[in-house]
A and B are shown apart, each in its own frame.
Chain A
Amino acid sequence: MFDHYEVNGLFDEVFESSGRPRSHYSSLVSRLKALGHPAFERRRRMTDVLFRNQGITFTVYSDARGVEKIFPFDLVPRIVPANEWDLIERGLVQRITALNLFCHDIYHGQRILKERVIPPDLIYGAKMFRREMFGVKVPRDIYIHICGTDLIRDNQGTYYVLEDNGRTPSGVSYVLENRAVMKRVFSNLFGAYRVRAVEDYPYNLLQCLKFIAPNHVDNPSIAILTPGIYNSAYFEHSFLARQMGVELVEGRDLLVDKGFLYMRTIAGLQRVDVLYRRVDDDFLDPLCFRPESALGVAGLMNAYRVGNLALANAVGTGVADDKAIYPFVPAMIKFYLGQDAILPNVRTLICADEADRKYVLEHLHELVVKSTNESGGYGMLMGHQASKEEREKFAQMIQADPRNFIAQPVIQLSQHPSLIDDHFEGRRVDLRPYILYGEKVIVMPGGLTRVALRHGSLVVNSSQGGGSKDTWVLEEESAKST
Chain B
Amino acid sequence: MTTAADPTSSRAFATIGIAPTASKPERPMLARDADSMYWMARYVERAEHVARLLLVNSNVLIDVGDVAPALQTQHWQGLLHILRVPALPEPKSEDQRDIAARVAQHLTLDAENPNSIVSCLTRARENARGIRENISTEMWENLNTLYWHLRGDDAHSRFEESPDDLYRSVMTGSMLFQGLTDQTLAHDQRWLFAQLAKYLERIDVTCRVIETKFNILQVNQQTLESPIRNIHWMAVLRSCCSIEAYRRNYVGEMDPMHVVGFLILEKNFPRSIRFSLSGALAAISVIRAGTQVGAIDPAERILGRLEAQLEYAEVAEILSIGVPNYLQRIQAGINDAALAVQKSYFLH
Contacts and interface: CB of A to CB of B under 8 A. Distances in A.
B140 A55 contact: yes
A266 B141 contact: no
25 contacts: A52-B144, A53-B145, A53-B148, A54-B141, A55-B140, A238-B132, A242-B133, A247-B30, A247-B33, A247-B133, A252-B32, A253-B31, A253-B32, A264-B30, A264-B32, A265-B28, A265-B29, A266-B31, A266-B189, A266-B348, A267-B28, A267-B292, A269-B348, A270-B27, A270-B28
Contacts of B126: 229
Interface string A233-267: 01000110110001111101100000000011111
B291 interface: yes
B130 to A, nearest CB: 5
Interface string B89-129: 00000000000000000000000000000000000001001
Nearest to A228: B130
Given A53-B148, A266-B189, A266-B345, A229 B129 contact: yes
Contacts of A267: 28, 290-292
Interface in A37-75: 52-55
A contact residues, range: 20 to 34
B263 interface: no
CB-based closest 10 A-B pairs: A267-B28, A241-B133, A265-B28, A267-B291, A242-B133, A264-B348, A238-B132, A266-B345, A53-B145, A264-B31
A456 interface: no
Contacts, number: 72
B287 interface: yes
B34 interface: yes
**Interface of chain A, main secondary structure:** mixed
A268 interface: yes
Contacts of B129: 55, 229, 234, 238
Contacts of A265: 28-31, 348
Q: Give the size range of B's interface with the partner.
A: 20 to 34
A54 B144 contact: yes
A197 B91 CA distance: 59
Interface of A: 52-55, 228-229, 234, 238-239, 241-242, 246-250, 252-253, 263-270
Given A52-B148, A55-B140, A267-B292, A249 B132 contact: no
Contacts of B144: 52-55
A263 B32 CA distance: 10
Given A247-B133, A265-B348, A267-B290, A253 B30 contact: yes
A468 B32 CA distance: 34
Given A53-B144, A55-B129, 19 more contacts: A52-B148, A53-B141, A53-B145, A55-B132, A229-B130, A234-B129, A238-B133, A250-B32, A253-B30, A264-B31, A265-B28, A265-B29, A265-B30, A266-B28, A266-B29, A266-B30, A267-B28, A270-B27, A270-B28
B292 A248 contact: no
Contacts of B34: 266
A234 B130 CA distance: 9
Contacts of B292: 267
Centre residue among A239, A246, A247 by max chain B CB count within 10 A: A247
Contacts of B291: 266-268
A238 B140 CA distance: 12
Interface in B30-80: 30-34
Nearest to B130: A229
Interface string B314-348: 00000000000000000000000000000001101
Contacts of B32: 250, 252-253, 264
Contacts of A239: 132
B248 to A, nearest CB: 38
Contacts of B141: 53-55
Contacts of A229: 126, 129-130
A294 to B, nearest CB: 14
A53 B140 CA distance: 9
A263 to B, nearest CB: 6
Contacts of B345: 266
A77 B133 CA distance: 29
Most buried by B among A229, A234, A238, A266: A266
A88 B140 CA distance: 37
A177 to B, nearest CB: 11
A55 B148 CA distance: 10
A265 B30 CA distance: 4
Nearest to A238: B132
A33 to B, nearest CB: 34
A333 to B, nearest CB: 38
